[in-house]
Every structure is written in C-alpha cells, then in structure tokens.
Amino acid sequence: MKKSIIHQWATACSVVLFSTTSLAHIVLSEPAAVANTSYRATLRVGHGCEGSPITALRITIPEGFSGAKPMPKAGWILSTKVAKLAKPYTSHGKTISEDVTEISWTAASKDNWLPDAWYDEFVMRGGLPGTAGPMWFKVTQTCEKGSIDWAETPPTGTSTKGMKFPAVLLEIGEPGPAAHQH
C-alpha cells in the first residue's frame, strides 16, 4: 500500500516538474506517511517570489494534524498560533480542544532572508490522524516584494496538475503489517 502511494506521488511529481519547469514548488521531503504515527514534516522551499527573497513562511496546520511543534531555525523568529478546534480530539485520555493551528518563521534581519537563488528547509512535527487519505498544508511565503499562497487543492483526488500554486501534499496511507511489529 505504501509503495503504491509513493509511486503515485512520483508520477504526479514528474508531471508537475514537466509542466512548470521554472517553478519548483514547496514540497515535503517525505511526501508519504502512515496513519496514526508521528510525522516530521520537512518543507523544501525552492524559490522566492519572481526573484524576490523570502522574508517569512507561514504554515496553516490542517485539521487532524495534532500537537504541531516547529523546529527552531537559526536566524528566524518562530511563532505559533493556538486556537479552539472545530473537532476536539483525545490524546492520552485527555480531550484536546485547542491546538496549534499556525506556525510561522520570520527572518530576524535582512541578512537572514532566503535569496531566490538559494534553497532551504523548514521543519515541524506532529501526529497524523488514524485514517488514510491526502492531507494538504497551506503555506504562505512572504517576500521582500510580493508573496505566494501555496493553497490550491483539487476538489477530489491528489493531482495538482495544471495548478500554479498547489498546497503542499502529504499522502497518508493505511498502517501496513510493518507498523504492527513491536
């Protein structure tokens, strides 16, 4: 099951790369994961805004991604937003009714801006839901001039073909036999 998900992703990715060679979107270094596990999300940020350097990055945490924790990054100021959840969940026997809903990294100074010609990664972790399916992370990158909202999602399925600014996709698969080994 996990194999087929990775294969599907690889196919979709090559389509995206072909159709928008000049645009290297924001993607996850590990775009597939197993339901009900802890996940380390590494966002690969490929470019600025039409040549302008990135000054801040903000991730909207999707529903079902629990207890999100950002990894600090030298030269970038972290902030998180906690809000009431539409759907509370249970963790370690406690009902969790509020959680981190937004994470942002803002360059501490001009020296820390990410130039268009450079590449960087932003990392956070959290818990995945128990059900398989696509999970979309909406990301806003702010630049010295302009910004990009990576927020487009398809009405069904996971193909981002033809989209200019697709949200970041994580494909969550059913736990396989390996996940049950202790």
Contact region with Cu ion (CB under 5 A), list: 3-11, 21-29, 118-126, 136-144? 21-29
Please, what is the minimum distance in Å from the beta carbon of residue 167 to Cu ion? Answer: 13
Which candidate, 141, 128, 150, places its Cα nearest to that of 33? 128
Nearest residue to Cu ion on Cβ basis: 23
Q: Taking a C-beta distance cutoff of 8 angstroms, is the pair 157, 5 a contact?
A: no
Buried b (16+ CB within 10 A) or exposed e, 132-159: bebbbbbbbbbbbeeebebbeebeeebe
Among 6, 13, 15, 23, indicate the residue that binds Cu ion (CB under 5 A): 23
> Of 23-31, 58-66, 115-123, 133-141, which segment contacts Cu ion by CB under 5 A?
23-31
Alpha helix (H) residue ranges in the chain: 2-19
How many Cβ atoms from other residues are within 10 Å of residue 70's Cβ?
Answer: 20
141 contacts Cu ion (rule: CB under 5 A): no
48 vs 126 by CB, closer to Cu ion: 48
* Interaction residues for Cu ion, span 25-84 (CB under 5 A): 25
* 24 near Cu ion (CB under 5 A): yes
